[in-house]
A = this chain, B = another copy of it.
């Protein structure tokens, strides 16, 4: 099967139908329209087999995650997603695999009302690169550099689930965890690993409320540093406030749960900072959204310094975020 037919067969018919797409898949490039008053937001992320997903992961989950991690970056800017482009490197034309992969892609396309506008396929090691494009009203993008000392630090959802999920998937959990892991928790944790949820609605709601925002892909400790560096702040985190899911809390001890919550990647929750004055506004805005947000600390002027406390005591954590190299 030639590349042209491959894209046609597996992706073109399932690419979505947005009115702002003038020319979609099948030409040299896609042509799209940006609504007036909106800025374009663009992000690219690559998922590589054996690095970002396990080689035996389901193609449906791989496609879903490849889209989700990119949409999560748009969410962190306060943007609304519109279009994605796919570059798929695959060792062979495995029709079953491609069918499942394209189904995963299509599910995301339908769920988020986005459109696949371009594709490239190459024969090589399994890797998926997606570029996602979206909009945000002019001057309302939420950056990593707008945080200020005194800001409260919030996160969405719960942290560390995907970390334990990965340990489960790699069969690297301890005997005690195996014994305390119920089927429901097992399934929940794996779902959190394989099917992360980009916090798009929260992202758009944080426009004009949050001073800074980032998505948690490499682990809280690693990712918050980007905000501290780019905003010239320090932070104190109160670890007893970390949002830990019942599934994680019931499967490992508190120290391990904190370790996962602080250092494991793949959560794709948002971390954002809000001034004291905007706190009420935040609570009102999010009340209708049915998404958990938790205040886990505050920023200060100790530039680049990250202080961890557990019940007012300094917490020594020998943990790092995900290292890419």
Pick the residue among B2, B87, B145 that contacts A45 (CB under 8 A): B87
**B2 pairs with A324, CB closer than 8 A:** yes
Copies in the complex: 2
Count of A residues near B, CB < 8 Å? 68
Chain B residue with Cβ nearest A29: B43
**A32 pairs with B39, CB closer than 8 A:** yes
**A28 pairs with B119, CB closer than 8 A:** no
**B76 pairs with A44, CB closer than 8 A:** no
Question: Contacts A42-B133, A44-B129, A93-B325 given: A141-B230 contact, CB under 8 Å?
Answer: no
Residue of A1, A29, A86, A141 with most partner-chain B CB within 10 A: A29
Residue A294 CB within 8 A of the other chain: no
> Chain A 130-154, CB within 8 Å of chain B: the 1/0 string?
0111001010010111000000000
Residue A226 CB within 8 A of the other chain: yes
Question: Contacts A42-B85, A44-B131, A51-B122 given: A74-B29 contact, CB under 8 Å?
Answer: yes
Residues of B within 8 A of A4 (CB): 226
Question: Contacts A1-B325, A2-B323, A22-B141 given: A76-B28 contact, CB under 8 Å?
Answer: yes
Residues of B within 8 A of A23 (CB): 77, 141, 143
Question: Contacts A129-B87, A131-B131 given: A30-B46 contact, CB under 8 Å?
Answer: no
New A-B pairs, 16, CB < 8 Å, besides A22-B141, A28-B213, A33-B39: A2-B325, A3-B324, A23-B143, A28-B77, A29-B76, A29-B77, A30-B43, A32-B40, A40-B40, A43-B118, A44-B85, A44-B119, A44-B129, A46-B89, A85-B131, A122-B127
